[in-house]
Amino acid sequence: MINTRIMSSLNPLNSSRGLFLSLYGSAAMFFPFLAVYFEGRGLTGKEIGLLVAIPPAVSILAGPLWGAAADAGGSHRRLMRLALAGSLLLILPLPFASGLLFSGLLLGLHAAFFMSLPAFVDHTALQNLGDRPEGYGRLRMWGSIGWGLSGLLLAPVLARYGLAWIFFGHAAALALGLLATLGLPAGRAQPPSPQPARRPPPMLAMRRFAGGFRPLFADRRWQAFLLLIFTAGFGNAVGGHFLFLYLGSLSAGPALMGLTLALGVLSELVMLA
């Protein structure tokens, strides 16, 4: 049985801190080093580009679908645990995968679970804050701490045991995220309705879901915002996935790469504190 002292420390806000720490820590241990890992496996630049493009491509569909499922069933906490567990289990075979196709398949399956986590963690944080949404920045700051610390902690492990340990570090950080969910409150039971609402047919539900995007894309303010996000994401993806390849070409080792991750979050900490 889990110690009651541990359980009492896992209050909702501490759970959100732990989830941000786990989410961004697991990402820092994995995504920046992925291209370097594949280069060490002998893949070409085009093959590396194809593989690292799979997670963001999958997220275009996976994120909205996970969100729609959670909203429809009111089961955000349960689905977040499923996404954490699925991400953890699907990352473990990747260091043993051989061939471009099998590696891409595992990356895509892992991304289908992992790329839903940012929305779940943000939703959970805002729900735990209640009528104090201004506290979000201080909770999100733990994600920046996790990103920086993970780079520093993982670097000596990679230097000694090799880049395959990015997958095991990623899995360990996700396991901490699962532990953090123990402090989340149970969903409030809804009072029974005298006449249970009839669920629409699946095709009608899908049409309603897709139709919800039309007003979004028709709004010029949202168009400008989405263009800004796309541009920022494009630059972030290039730097995030290929910076360490460049550093490696300058004979930089894992220690310098980990230090780069830590230094990169200093500005975030100032803004979020």
Identify which of 226, 221, 192 has the alpha carbon closest to the alpha carbon of residue 60: 226
What is the pLDDT, as a whole number, of residue 265? Answer: 82
CA distances from 25 to 177, 217, 227, 247 (A): 10, 33, 28, 21
For 115-201, where are the alpha helices, taking DSSP H only? Answer: 117-129, 136-161, 165-180
Q: What is the chain's percent helix, strand, coil content, to nearest 5? A: 80, 0, 20
Q: For tokens 């049985």, what's the residue?
A: 1
What is the pLDDT, as a whole number, of residue 192? Answer: 47
Identify which of 187, 171, 179, 178 has the alpha carbon closest to the alpha carbon of residue 2: 179
Whole-model pTM? 0.82
Lookup: tokens for 103: 């590696």
Amino acid at 237: A
Tell me what the pLDDT averaged over the chain comes to: 84
| Digit-coded pLDDT (tens) for 181-233 | 998 876 544 444 455 556 555 566 566 666 666 777 778 888 888 888 888 88
What is the pLDDT, as a whole number, of residue 72? Answer: 77
Q: For tokens 């100032």, what's the residue?
A: 270
Q: How many CB atoms lie within 10 A of CB 90?
A: 19
**Mean pLDDT along residues 111-127:** 94
* Cβ(47)–Cβ(100) below 8 Å: yes
| Digit-coded pLDDT (tens) for 224-241 | 888 888 888 877 777 788
Most confident region among 5-9, 79-83, 226-230 by mean pLDDT = 79-83
Question: Can you tell me the distance from the alpha carbon of 32 to that of 39, in angstroms, rounded to the nearest whole number?
Answer: 13
Question: Can you tell me the distance from the alpha carbon of 105 to that of 114, in angstroms, rounded to the nearest whole number?
Answer: 14
* Cβ(157)–Cβ(169) below 8 Å: yes
The H or E element that residue 89 is part of is: helix 76-91
